[in-house]
Structure 1
Amino acid sequence: MSAGKKIRWSRFIKADSKKGIIVPIDHGLSMGPLDGINNVQRIANWIEHPAANGMIAHKGMIERLAYRGLLNGKGVMMHLNGMTSLANDPTRKELLTSIESALRLGADGVSVELLFNGANEPHNLKVLGQVVDEAMVYGLPVLVMIKDMNKYEQASNRINASRQIIRTVYELGADAVKIQQPEDTNEIPAILDELCDDIAVFLAGGAKCADVEILAIASLAIKSGATGLCIGRNVFQRPDFSAFLSSLHSLVHTPLKNAAYAIN
Protein backbone atom coordinates (compact mmCIF):
# COMPACT_ATOMS: atom_id res chain seq x y z
CA MET A 1 0.00 0.00 0.00
CA SER A 2 1.07 3.56 -0.69
CA ALA A 3 1.19 6.03 2.20
CA GLY A 4 -2.08 7.61 1.10
CA LYS A 5 -3.81 4.26 0.82
CA LYS A 6 -2.59 3.20 4.28
CA ILE A 7 -3.95 6.39 5.83
CA ARG A 8 -7.32 6.00 4.13
CA TRP A 9 -7.59 2.31 4.96
CA SER A 10 -6.83 3.02 8.62
CA ARG A 11 -10.22 4.78 8.88
CA PHE A 12 -12.00 1.45 8.36
CA ILE A 13 -10.19 -0.53 11.06
CA LYS A 14 -9.10 -0.07 14.67
CA ALA A 15 -5.40 0.53 15.16
CA ASP A 16 -4.98 -1.98 18.01
CA SER A 17 -6.93 -4.98 16.70
CA LYS A 18 -6.44 -4.35 12.96
CA LYS A 19 -10.09 -5.37 12.59
CA GLY A 20 -13.15 -3.43 11.55
CA ILE A 21 -16.92 -3.31 11.15
CA ILE A 22 -18.29 -1.75 7.97
CA VAL A 23 -22.00 -1.10 7.46
CA PRO A 24 -23.12 -1.10 3.80
CA ILE A 25 -26.21 0.93 2.93
CA ASP A 26 -26.00 0.69 -0.85
CA HIS A 27 -29.15 -1.47 -1.03
CA GLY A 28 -31.45 1.36 -2.11
CA LEU A 29 -30.27 1.50 -5.71
CA SER A 30 -30.98 -2.16 -6.41
CA MET A 31 -33.84 -2.88 -3.99
CA GLY A 32 -35.55 0.45 -3.35
CA PRO A 33 -36.48 1.78 0.12
CA LEU A 34 -35.72 -0.73 2.88
CA ASP A 35 -36.72 -0.57 6.52
CA GLY A 36 -33.88 1.06 8.44
CA ILE A 37 -32.55 3.07 5.50
CA ASN A 38 -35.85 4.48 4.20
CA ASN A 39 -34.45 8.00 4.39
CA VAL A 40 -31.61 10.01 5.88
CA GLN A 41 -33.43 10.55 9.17
CA ARG A 42 -33.77 6.79 9.71
CA ILE A 43 -30.07 6.31 8.96
CA ALA A 44 -29.22 9.10 11.40
CA ASN A 45 -30.68 7.00 14.20
CA TRP A 46 -27.83 4.48 14.12
CA ILE A 47 -24.97 5.54 11.83
CA GLU A 48 -23.04 7.47 14.49
CA HIS A 49 -22.65 4.44 16.75
CA PRO A 50 -18.90 4.16 17.53
CA ALA A 51 -18.76 0.43 16.75
CA ALA A 52 -19.29 1.15 13.04
CA ASN A 53 -15.84 2.00 11.71
CA GLY A 54 -17.03 2.75 8.20
CA MET A 55 -19.90 2.66 5.76
CA ILE A 56 -20.53 1.96 2.07
CA ALA A 57 -23.03 3.98 0.04
CA HIS A 58 -23.75 5.37 -3.39
CA LYS A 59 -22.77 8.95 -4.18
CA GLY A 60 -26.21 10.48 -3.70
CA MET A 61 -26.55 9.06 -0.20
CA ILE A 62 -23.01 10.06 0.77
CA GLU A 63 -23.70 13.65 -0.24
CA ARG A 64 -26.91 13.78 1.80
CA LEU A 65 -25.33 12.18 4.87
CA ALA A 66 -22.31 14.48 4.67
CA TYR A 67 -24.57 17.53 4.46
CA ARG A 68 -26.14 16.46 7.77
CA GLY A 69 -22.71 15.93 9.37
CA LEU A 70 -23.39 12.22 9.89
CA LEU A 71 -20.14 10.91 8.41
CA ASN A 72 -17.69 12.74 10.66
CA GLY A 73 -15.04 10.34 11.94
CA LYS A 74 -16.22 7.44 9.76
CA GLY A 75 -14.44 5.68 6.96
CA VAL A 76 -16.46 6.49 3.83
CA MET A 77 -16.47 4.07 0.91
CA MET A 78 -18.29 5.02 -2.26
CA HIS A 79 -19.93 2.24 -4.27
CA LEU A 80 -19.21 2.59 -7.98
CA ASN A 81 -21.44 0.11 -9.78
CA GLY A 82 -24.91 -1.37 -9.59
CA MET A 83 -28.14 -2.38 -11.29
CA THR A 84 -31.76 -2.28 -10.18
CA SER A 85 -33.66 -5.47 -9.45
CA LEU A 86 -36.12 -4.39 -12.18
CA ALA A 87 -33.55 -4.91 -14.94
CA ASN A 88 -33.60 -7.84 -17.36
CA ASP A 89 -30.25 -8.95 -15.93
CA PRO A 90 -29.80 -7.63 -12.38
CA THR A 91 -26.54 -9.63 -12.02
CA ARG A 92 -24.71 -7.43 -14.54
CA LYS A 93 -23.48 -4.54 -12.43
CA GLU A 94 -22.52 -1.54 -14.56
CA LEU A 95 -20.15 1.24 -13.55
CA LEU A 96 -22.32 4.24 -12.65
CA THR A 97 -19.80 6.80 -11.47
CA SER A 98 -16.07 7.49 -11.29
CA ILE A 99 -13.04 7.63 -9.03
CA GLU A 100 -13.05 11.40 -9.51
CA SER A 101 -16.57 11.60 -8.06
CA ALA A 102 -15.44 9.58 -5.04
CA LEU A 103 -12.55 11.98 -4.47
CA ARG A 104 -14.81 15.00 -4.85
CA LEU A 105 -17.06 13.65 -2.09
CA GLY A 106 -14.12 12.94 0.20
CA ALA A 107 -14.39 9.14 0.08
CA ASP A 108 -11.65 7.11 1.75
CA GLY A 109 -12.16 4.14 -0.55
CA VAL A 110 -14.33 2.68 -3.30
CA SER A 111 -16.21 -0.58 -3.75
CA VAL A 112 -17.75 -2.63 -6.54
CA GLU A 113 -20.09 -5.62 -6.47
CA LEU A 114 -19.46 -8.57 -8.77
CA LEU A 115 -21.94 -11.43 -9.14
CA PHE A 116 -20.48 -14.49 -10.88
CA ASN A 117 -23.01 -16.61 -12.79
CA GLY A 118 -20.84 -18.36 -15.37
CA ALA A 119 -21.69 -15.90 -18.14
CA ASN A 120 -20.60 -12.46 -16.92
CA GLU A 121 -17.01 -13.14 -15.84
CA PRO A 122 -15.45 -11.12 -18.73
CA HIS A 123 -17.58 -8.10 -17.83
CA ASN A 124 -16.80 -8.43 -14.11
CA LEU A 125 -13.05 -8.69 -14.60
CA LYS A 126 -12.97 -5.74 -16.99
CA VAL A 127 -14.88 -3.58 -14.50
CA LEU A 128 -12.59 -4.55 -11.63
CA GLY A 129 -9.42 -4.07 -13.67
CA GLN A 130 -10.49 -0.58 -14.68
CA VAL A 131 -11.48 0.44 -11.14
CA VAL A 132 -8.25 -0.85 -9.58
CA ASP A 133 -6.08 0.91 -12.16
CA GLU A 134 -7.85 4.24 -11.66
CA ALA A 135 -7.97 3.97 -7.87
CA MET A 136 -4.27 3.13 -7.70
CA VAL A 137 -3.36 6.50 -9.20
CA TYR A 138 -4.92 8.28 -6.21
CA GLY A 139 -4.13 5.76 -3.47
CA LEU A 140 -7.75 4.75 -2.89
CA PRO A 141 -8.39 1.31 -1.36
CA VAL A 142 -10.71 -0.96 -3.38
CA LEU A 143 -13.16 -3.38 -1.77
CA VAL A 144 -14.93 -5.99 -3.92
CA MET A 145 -18.25 -7.53 -2.91
CA ILE A 146 -18.38 -10.98 -4.48
CA LYS A 147 -21.13 -13.55 -4.81
CA ASP A 148 -21.00 -16.87 -6.63
CA MET A 149 -24.42 -17.46 -8.20
CA ASN A 150 -23.56 -20.95 -9.47
CA LYS A 151 -24.86 -24.13 -7.83
CA TYR A 152 -22.62 -27.03 -6.82
CA GLU A 153 -23.48 -30.59 -5.92
CA GLN A 154 -20.38 -31.09 -3.79
CA ALA A 155 -19.16 -28.89 -0.96
CA SER A 156 -15.56 -29.20 -2.12
CA ASN A 157 -16.45 -27.66 -5.49
CA ARG A 158 -18.31 -24.80 -3.79
CA ILE A 159 -15.35 -24.11 -1.49
CA ASN A 160 -12.82 -24.23 -4.33
CA ALA A 161 -14.93 -21.86 -6.45
CA SER A 162 -15.14 -19.34 -3.60
CA ARG A 163 -11.41 -19.51 -3.04
CA GLN A 164 -10.73 -19.04 -6.74
CA ILE A 165 -12.92 -15.94 -6.95
CA ILE A 166 -11.21 -14.42 -3.90
CA ARG A 167 -7.84 -15.12 -5.47
CA THR A 168 -8.99 -13.64 -8.78
CA VAL A 169 -9.88 -10.25 -7.27
CA TYR A 170 -6.63 -10.34 -5.28
CA GLU A 171 -4.66 -10.95 -8.49
CA LEU A 172 -6.33 -7.92 -10.11
CA GLY A 173 -5.22 -5.66 -7.24
CA ALA A 174 -8.20 -5.43 -4.89
CA ASP A 175 -7.28 -4.53 -1.31
CA ALA A 176 -10.30 -6.11 0.38
CA VAL A 177 -13.11 -8.50 -0.41
CA LYS A 178 -16.54 -8.98 1.08
CA ILE A 179 -17.71 -12.59 0.89
CA GLN A 180 -21.22 -13.96 1.29
CA GLN A 181 -21.98 -16.47 4.01
CA PRO A 182 -21.51 -19.94 2.47
CA GLU A 183 -24.38 -22.40 2.22
CA ASP A 184 -22.80 -24.27 5.13
CA THR A 185 -21.19 -21.74 7.46
CA ASN A 186 -18.83 -24.39 8.80
CA GLU A 187 -17.05 -24.09 5.44
CA ILE A 188 -15.76 -20.63 6.40
CA PRO A 189 -12.36 -21.84 7.75
CA ALA A 190 -11.70 -23.86 4.58
CA ILE A 191 -12.66 -20.95 2.33
CA LEU A 192 -10.42 -18.48 4.16
CA ASP A 193 -7.45 -20.81 4.77
CA GLU A 194 -4.25 -18.77 4.09
CA LEU A 195 -6.06 -16.29 1.82
CA CYS A 196 -6.40 -13.73 4.62
CA ASP A 197 -2.62 -13.36 4.67
CA ASP A 198 -2.75 -11.45 1.38
CA ILE A 199 -6.12 -9.70 1.22
CA ALA A 200 -8.48 -8.25 3.82
CA VAL A 201 -11.62 -10.41 3.98
CA PHE A 202 -14.93 -9.17 5.40
CA LEU A 203 -17.87 -11.48 6.01
CA ALA A 204 -21.30 -10.29 4.88
CA GLY A 205 -24.22 -10.33 7.30
CA GLY A 206 -26.77 -11.69 4.85
CA ALA A 207 -30.51 -11.74 5.50
CA LYS A 208 -31.71 -10.67 8.92
CA CYS A 209 -31.42 -13.43 11.52
CA ALA A 210 -31.32 -13.93 15.29
CA ASP A 211 -28.55 -12.25 17.28
CA VAL A 212 -27.01 -15.51 18.47
CA GLU A 213 -26.89 -16.88 14.92
CA ILE A 214 -25.11 -13.94 13.32
CA LEU A 215 -22.74 -13.59 16.29
CA ALA A 216 -21.77 -17.27 16.02
CA ILE A 217 -21.07 -16.97 12.29
CA ALA A 218 -19.15 -13.73 12.78
CA SER A 219 -17.06 -15.27 15.54
CA LEU A 220 -16.10 -18.20 13.32
CA ALA A 221 -15.07 -15.82 10.53
CA ILE A 222 -12.89 -13.68 12.81
CA LYS A 223 -11.22 -16.74 14.32
CA SER A 224 -10.58 -18.01 10.78
CA GLY A 225 -8.61 -14.88 9.92
CA ALA A 226 -11.21 -12.46 8.56
CA THR A 227 -10.36 -8.77 8.92
CA GLY A 228 -13.90 -7.92 9.96
CA LEU A 229 -17.57 -7.79 9.15
CA CYS A 230 -19.54 -5.98 6.46
CA ILE A 231 -23.07 -6.14 7.87
CA GLY A 232 -26.04 -4.10 6.70
CA ARG A 233 -29.57 -5.41 7.28
CA ASN A 234 -28.56 -7.22 10.45
CA VAL A 235 -27.60 -3.81 11.84
CA PHE A 236 -29.99 -1.21 10.47
CA GLN A 237 -33.12 -3.38 10.65
CA ARG A 238 -32.69 -4.25 14.33
CA PRO A 239 -34.93 -2.48 16.87
CA ASP A 240 -32.05 -2.52 19.38
CA PHE A 241 -29.20 -1.81 16.98
CA SER A 242 -27.06 -0.22 19.71
CA ALA A 243 -26.79 -3.37 21.85
CA PHE A 244 -26.17 -5.50 18.78
CA LEU A 245 -23.42 -3.23 17.45
CA SER A 246 -21.79 -3.24 20.88
CA SER A 247 -21.84 -7.06 20.86
CA LEU A 248 -20.30 -7.12 17.40
CA HIS A 249 -17.63 -4.66 18.49
CA SER A 250 -16.66 -6.84 21.44
CA LEU A 251 -16.59 -9.96 19.29
CA VAL A 252 -14.53 -8.50 16.47
CA HIS A 253 -11.91 -6.78 18.59
CA THR A 254 -11.57 -9.34 21.41
CA PRO A 255 -12.52 -12.64 19.70
CA LEU A 256 -10.76 -14.94 22.14
CA LYS A 257 -13.02 -13.72 24.94
CA ASN A 258 -16.17 -14.68 23.05
CA ALA A 259 -15.93 -18.46 22.92
CA ALA A 260 -19.64 -18.70 23.76
CA TYR A 261 -20.40 -17.50 20.24
CA ALA A 262 -18.37 -20.25 18.55
CA ILE A 263 -20.04 -22.78 16.28
CA ASN A 264 -19.47 -26.34 17.44
Structure 2
Amino acid sequence: MTAGLQARLNRIGTDGRFLIVPMDHGITLGAVKGLKDIESTISAVTAGGADAVLTQKGIAPRVHPNKNGAGYIVHLNASTSIGPDSNDKRQTGTVEDAIRAGADAVSFHINVGSKFEREQLEALGKLTSTASSYGIPTLAMAYARGPDIDEHDAESLGHAVRLAEEVGADIVKTAYSGDPESFKHVIESTQLPVVIAGGSRSSDRETIEMARGALDAGGAGVSMGRSIFQHDNPESITAAVSAIIHENEDVETAMEHFR
Protein backbone atom coordinates (compact mmCIF):
# COMPACT_ATOMS: atom_id res chain seq x y z
CA MET A 1 0.00 0.00 0.00
CA THR A 2 1.39 3.38 -1.00
CA ALA A 3 1.66 6.27 1.44
CA GLY A 4 -0.90 8.23 -0.57
CA LEU A 5 -3.43 5.41 -0.55
CA GLN A 6 -3.04 4.96 3.21
CA ALA A 7 -3.34 8.70 3.81
CA ARG A 8 -6.60 8.83 1.86
CA LEU A 9 -7.99 5.77 3.64
CA ASN A 10 -7.28 7.58 6.90
CA ARG A 11 -9.33 10.54 5.65
CA ILE A 12 -12.45 8.41 5.15
CA GLY A 13 -12.12 6.34 8.32
CA THR A 14 -10.74 6.36 11.86
CA ASP A 15 -8.27 3.71 13.03
CA GLY A 16 -9.51 1.22 10.46
CA ARG A 17 -13.20 1.76 11.24
CA PHE A 18 -15.60 3.50 8.90
CA LEU A 19 -18.85 5.44 9.27
CA ILE A 20 -19.77 6.55 5.78
CA VAL A 21 -23.02 8.29 4.86
CA PRO A 22 -23.84 7.85 1.15
CA MET A 23 -26.11 10.52 -0.30
CA ASP A 24 -25.97 9.64 -3.99
CA HIS A 25 -29.67 8.70 -3.96
CA GLY A 26 -30.71 11.85 -5.84
CA ILE A 27 -30.13 9.98 -9.10
CA THR A 28 -31.87 6.83 -7.93
CA LEU A 29 -34.83 8.27 -6.04
CA GLY A 30 -34.88 11.98 -6.79
CA ALA A 31 -34.69 14.83 -4.30
CA VAL A 32 -36.20 12.90 -1.40
CA LYS A 33 -36.26 13.93 2.26
CA GLY A 34 -32.77 14.78 3.46
CA LEU A 35 -31.44 15.54 -0.01
CA LYS A 36 -33.25 18.74 -0.97
CA ASP A 37 -31.26 20.75 1.53
CA ILE A 38 -28.30 18.40 1.31
CA GLU A 39 -26.01 21.08 2.75
CA SER A 40 -27.77 20.94 6.14
CA THR A 41 -27.79 17.14 6.10
CA ILE A 42 -24.08 16.93 5.35
CA SER A 43 -23.34 19.40 8.14
CA ALA A 44 -25.47 17.42 10.59
CA VAL A 45 -24.07 13.94 9.88
CA THR A 46 -20.48 15.10 9.94
CA ALA A 47 -21.09 17.00 13.17
CA GLY A 48 -22.52 13.74 14.54
CA GLY A 49 -19.34 11.83 13.77
CA ALA A 50 -19.51 10.55 10.19
CA ASP A 51 -16.02 9.84 8.86
CA ALA A 52 -17.03 10.52 5.26
CA VAL A 53 -19.92 11.41 3.00
CA LEU A 54 -20.50 10.09 -0.51
CA THR A 55 -22.21 11.75 -3.47
CA GLN A 56 -22.11 11.91 -7.23
CA LYS A 57 -19.50 14.31 -8.67
CA GLY A 58 -21.98 17.08 -9.51
CA ILE A 59 -22.86 17.59 -5.84
CA ALA A 60 -19.23 18.28 -4.85
CA PRO A 61 -19.65 22.08 -4.64
CA ARG A 62 -22.43 21.55 -2.09
CA VAL A 63 -20.35 19.09 -0.06
CA HIS A 64 -17.05 20.79 0.67
CA PRO A 65 -18.29 23.89 2.53
CA ASN A 66 -20.41 21.74 4.87
CA LYS A 67 -18.50 18.56 5.69
CA ASN A 68 -16.69 19.79 8.82
CA GLY A 69 -13.37 18.26 7.81
CA ALA A 70 -14.79 14.81 7.07
CA GLY A 71 -13.67 12.71 4.10
CA TYR A 72 -15.36 12.76 0.71
CA ILE A 73 -16.10 9.86 -1.66
CA VAL A 74 -17.37 10.28 -5.22
CA HIS A 75 -19.63 7.53 -6.56
CA LEU A 76 -19.10 6.65 -10.20
CA ASN A 77 -22.14 4.72 -11.43
CA ALA A 78 -25.90 4.85 -11.03
CA SER A 79 -29.39 3.88 -12.18
CA THR A 80 -32.89 5.17 -11.41
CA SER A 81 -35.85 3.63 -9.63
CA ILE A 82 -38.13 4.57 -12.53
CA GLY A 83 -35.95 3.11 -15.28
CA PRO A 84 -36.46 -0.33 -16.85
CA ASP A 85 -34.03 -2.11 -14.48
CA SER A 86 -32.49 -0.54 -11.39
CA ASN A 87 -29.77 -3.23 -11.36
CA ASP A 88 -28.36 -1.77 -14.59
CA LYS A 89 -25.85 0.62 -13.06
CA ARG A 90 -24.11 2.77 -15.67
CA GLN A 91 -20.88 4.70 -15.23
CA THR A 92 -21.39 8.38 -14.45
CA GLY A 93 -17.82 9.57 -14.06
CA THR A 94 -14.14 8.73 -13.99
CA VAL A 95 -11.40 8.64 -11.39
CA GLU A 96 -10.06 11.85 -12.89
CA ASP A 97 -13.49 13.47 -12.46
CA ALA A 98 -13.46 12.44 -8.80
CA ILE A 99 -10.00 13.90 -8.27
CA ARG A 100 -11.11 17.19 -9.81
CA ALA A 101 -14.13 17.12 -7.49
CA GLY A 102 -11.82 16.89 -4.46
CA ALA A 103 -12.54 13.26 -3.59
CA ASP A 104 -10.47 11.23 -1.13
CA ALA A 105 -11.82 7.97 -2.60
CA VAL A 106 -14.10 6.63 -5.32
CA SER A 107 -16.88 4.06 -5.18
CA PHE A 108 -18.58 1.79 -7.69
CA HIS A 109 -21.64 -0.46 -7.43
CA ILE A 110 -21.76 -4.01 -8.80
CA ASN A 111 -24.70 -6.41 -8.67
CA VAL A 112 -23.18 -9.88 -8.50
CA GLY A 113 -25.51 -12.42 -10.06
CA SER A 114 -27.48 -9.93 -12.15
CA LYS A 115 -27.58 -10.01 -15.94
CA PHE A 116 -25.42 -6.90 -15.85
CA GLU A 117 -22.67 -8.54 -13.79
CA ARG A 118 -20.24 -8.99 -16.71
CA GLU A 119 -20.23 -5.35 -17.73
CA GLN A 120 -20.07 -4.11 -14.14
CA LEU A 121 -17.25 -6.53 -13.30
CA GLU A 122 -15.22 -5.33 -16.26
CA ALA A 123 -15.86 -1.68 -15.40
CA LEU A 124 -14.92 -2.19 -11.74
CA GLY A 125 -11.70 -3.94 -12.71
CA LYS A 126 -10.68 -1.03 -14.95
CA LEU A 127 -11.67 1.49 -12.30
CA THR A 128 -9.54 -0.09 -9.56
CA SER A 129 -6.53 -0.12 -11.88
CA THR A 130 -6.91 3.56 -12.67
CA ALA A 131 -7.61 4.53 -9.06
CA SER A 132 -4.60 2.57 -7.84
CA SER A 133 -2.34 4.42 -10.27
CA TYR A 134 -3.34 7.68 -8.56
CA GLY A 135 -3.22 6.30 -5.01
CA ILE A 136 -7.00 6.71 -4.71
CA PRO A 137 -8.89 4.06 -2.65
CA THR A 138 -11.84 2.26 -4.24
CA LEU A 139 -14.92 1.35 -2.25
CA ALA A 140 -16.73 -1.47 -4.05
CA MET A 141 -20.45 -1.67 -3.31
CA ALA A 142 -20.79 -5.38 -3.98
CA TYR A 143 -24.30 -6.77 -3.65
CA ALA A 144 -25.76 -10.20 -4.36
CA ARG A 145 -28.64 -9.32 -6.66
CA GLY A 146 -30.21 -11.24 -9.47
CA PRO A 147 -32.80 -13.88 -10.37
CA ASP A 148 -33.47 -16.34 -7.52
CA ILE A 149 -30.77 -14.76 -5.32
CA ASP A 150 -31.44 -13.97 -1.67
CA GLU A 151 -29.81 -10.58 -1.20
CA HIS A 152 -29.06 -11.39 2.45
CA ASP A 153 -27.71 -14.93 1.99
CA ALA A 154 -24.30 -15.17 3.64
CA GLU A 155 -22.83 -17.47 0.97
CA SER A 156 -23.83 -15.10 -1.83
CA LEU A 157 -22.60 -12.07 0.11
CA GLY A 158 -19.32 -13.85 0.76
CA HIS A 159 -18.93 -14.37 -2.98
CA ALA A 160 -19.66 -10.70 -3.63
CA VAL A 161 -17.08 -9.37 -1.16
CA ARG A 162 -14.44 -11.81 -2.38
CA LEU A 163 -15.05 -10.62 -5.93
CA ALA A 164 -14.35 -7.06 -4.79
CA GLU A 165 -10.99 -8.08 -3.36
CA GLU A 166 -10.10 -10.16 -6.42
CA VAL A 167 -10.50 -7.16 -8.76
CA GLY A 168 -8.52 -4.75 -6.58
CA ALA A 169 -10.93 -2.82 -4.34
CA ASP A 170 -9.65 -1.41 -1.03
CA ILE A 171 -12.92 -1.46 0.95
CA VAL A 172 -16.12 -3.37 0.28
CA LYS A 173 -19.70 -2.58 1.18
CA THR A 174 -22.42 -5.20 1.15
CA ALA A 175 -25.76 -6.08 2.69
CA TYR A 176 -26.01 -7.45 6.23
CA SER A 177 -26.99 -11.11 6.44
CA GLY A 178 -29.16 -10.49 9.50
CA ASP A 179 -27.06 -11.78 12.41
CA PRO A 180 -23.42 -11.84 13.51
CA GLU A 181 -23.11 -15.62 13.25
CA SER A 182 -23.92 -15.81 9.55
CA PHE A 183 -22.10 -12.57 8.79
CA LYS A 184 -18.82 -14.05 10.03
CA HIS A 185 -18.70 -16.08 6.83
CA VAL A 186 -18.89 -12.83 4.83
CA ILE A 187 -16.07 -11.28 6.85
CA GLU A 188 -13.92 -14.40 6.52
CA SER A 189 -14.37 -14.42 2.73
CA THR A 190 -12.06 -11.43 2.26
CA GLN A 191 -9.20 -9.58 3.88
CA LEU A 192 -10.72 -6.24 2.90
CA PRO A 193 -12.46 -4.05 5.48
CA VAL A 194 -16.19 -4.85 5.16
CA VAL A 195 -18.86 -2.24 5.86
CA ILE A 196 -22.58 -2.90 5.78
CA ALA A 197 -25.35 -1.09 3.96
CA GLY A 198 -28.32 0.24 5.90
CA GLY A 199 -30.97 -0.44 3.27
CA SER A 200 -34.31 1.33 3.50
CA ARG A 201 -35.19 3.47 6.52
CA SER A 202 -35.21 1.39 9.72
CA SER A 203 -36.10 2.10 13.33
CA ASP A 204 -33.39 3.64 15.47
CA ARG A 205 -32.88 0.41 17.40
CA GLU A 206 -32.72 -1.69 14.23
CA THR A 207 -30.11 0.64 12.75
CA ILE A 208 -27.96 0.48 15.87
CA GLU A 209 -28.39 -3.28 16.26
CA MET A 210 -27.25 -3.81 12.68
CA ALA A 211 -24.11 -1.77 13.30
CA ARG A 212 -23.40 -3.66 16.52
CA GLY A 213 -23.96 -7.03 14.86
CA ALA A 214 -21.64 -6.21 11.96
CA LEU A 215 -18.86 -5.20 14.35
CA ASP A 216 -19.38 -8.27 16.51
CA ALA A 217 -18.85 -10.40 13.40
CA GLY A 218 -15.57 -8.62 12.64
CA GLY A 219 -16.84 -5.90 10.31
CA ALA A 220 -15.18 -2.54 9.88
CA GLY A 221 -18.23 -0.30 10.11
CA VAL A 222 -21.19 0.92 8.11
CA SER A 223 -22.10 2.83 4.98
CA MET A 224 -25.67 3.86 5.77
CA GLY A 225 -27.70 6.24 3.68
CA ARG A 226 -31.46 6.51 4.15
CA SER A 227 -31.41 5.27 7.75
CA ILE A 228 -29.29 8.31 8.55
CA PHE A 229 -29.96 11.11 6.06
CA GLN A 230 -33.76 10.66 6.19
CA HIS A 231 -33.82 10.61 9.98
CA ASP A 232 -35.69 13.44 11.74
CA ASN A 233 -32.43 14.13 13.60
CA PRO A 234 -29.51 13.05 11.39
CA GLU A 235 -26.94 14.27 13.87
CA SER A 236 -28.31 12.15 16.73
CA ILE A 237 -28.58 8.92 14.73
CA THR A 238 -25.07 9.48 13.39
CA ALA A 239 -23.75 10.03 16.91
CA ALA A 240 -25.45 6.84 18.08
CA VAL A 241 -23.98 4.77 15.25
CA SER A 242 -20.60 6.43 15.78
CA ALA A 243 -20.70 5.35 19.42
CA ILE A 244 -20.99 1.74 18.22
CA ILE A 245 -18.33 2.03 15.50
CA HIS A 246 -15.75 4.23 17.18
CA GLU A 247 -16.36 3.79 20.91
CA ASN A 248 -17.44 0.14 20.87
CA GLU A 249 -20.53 0.90 22.93
CA ASP A 250 -23.38 -1.56 23.37
CA VAL A 251 -26.83 -0.97 21.90
CA GLU A 252 -28.44 0.37 25.08
CA THR A 253 -25.65 2.85 25.73
CA ALA A 254 -25.72 4.03 22.11
CA MET A 255 -29.48 4.58 22.37
CA GLU A 256 -28.82 7.20 25.04
CA HIS A 257 -27.71 9.58 22.26
CA PHE A 258 -31.41 10.09 21.47
CA ARG A 259 -32.12 11.21 25.03
Quote how far apart the aligned CAs of 1:193 are: 4.0
**Which letter does structure 2 place at the counterpart of 1:249?**
S
Q: What's 1:173 paired with? A: 168
**What's the secondary structure of 1:112's corresponding residue?**
strand
TM-score normalised by length of structure 1: 0.88
**What's the secondary structure of 1:111's corresponding residue?**
strand
Unaligned regions of 5+ residues in structure 2, if any? 255-259
Identical counterparts, % of pairs? 28
Q: Mapping of 1:153-168 within 5 angstroms? A: 158-168=153-163
Distance verdict in 2 for CA 1:193–1:261, change over 3 Å: farther
Q: What's 1:135 paired with? A: 131
**Which letter does structure 2 place at the counterpart of 1:139?**
G
Give the counterpart of 1:258 among 247, 250, 253. 250
**Which letter does structure 2 place at the counterpart of 1:253?**
H
Contact 2:187/2:219, CA 8 A, preserved across alignment = no
Contact 2:187/2:194, CA 8 A, preserved across alignment = no
Q: What's 1:221 paired with? A: 214
Contact 1:212/1:261, CA 8 A, preserved across alignment = no
Contact 2:5/2:135, CA 8 A, preserved across alignment = yes
Determine whether 1:87 maps to 2:79.
no
Residues 91-143 of structure 1: per-residue CA shift (max 9 Å, x gap)? 11111111111111111000011123442221111010110011011000000
**Which letter does structure 2 place at the counterpart of 1:10?**
N
Q: Mapping of 1:184-263 within 5 angstroms? A: 184-186=178-180, 188-195=182-189, 198-255=191-248, 257-258=249-250, 260=252
Distance verdict in 2 for CA 1:10–1:2, change over 3 Å: same
Q: What's 2:5 paired with? A: 5
Query: Aligned partners of 2:210, 2:155: CA distance in 1, in Å?
Result: 20
Q: What's 1:35 paired with? A: 33
With 126-135 and 47-56 compared, the bigger mean Cα shift is at: 47-56
Contact 2:212/2:244, CA 8 A, preserved across alignment = yes
**Which letter does structure 1 place at the counterpart of 2:186?**
L
Query: Aligned partners of 1:25, 1:118: CA distance in 2, in Å?
Result: 24
Q: What's 1:61 paired with? A: 59
Contact 2:48/2:235, CA 8 A, preserved across alignment = no
Query: Aligned partners of 2:19, 2:45: CA distance in 1, in Å?
Result: 12
Q: Mapping of 1:113-128 within 5 angstroms? A: 113-128=109-124
**Which letter does structure 2 place at the counterpart of 1:201?**
V
Distance verdict in 2 for CA 1:81–1:44, change over 3 Å: closer
Quote how far apart the aligned CAs of 1:81 are: 0.8
Residues 40-99 of structure 1: per-residue CA shift (max 9 Å, x gap)? 344355243141110110011112222xx1134111100011122232222111111111
Q: Provide runs of 4+ in structure 1 moved above 6 Å.
A: none
Query: Aligned partners of 1:192, 1:45: CA distance in 2, in Å?
Result: 33
Distance verdict in 2 for CA 1:149–1:231, change over 3 Å: same
Report the number of matched residues. Answer: 252
RMSD after superposition: 2.2
**Which letter does structure 2 place at the counterpart of 1:114?**
I
Unaligned regions of 5+ residues in structure 1, if any? none
TM-score normalised by length of structure 2: 0.89
**What's the secondary structure of 1:61's corresponding residue?**
helix
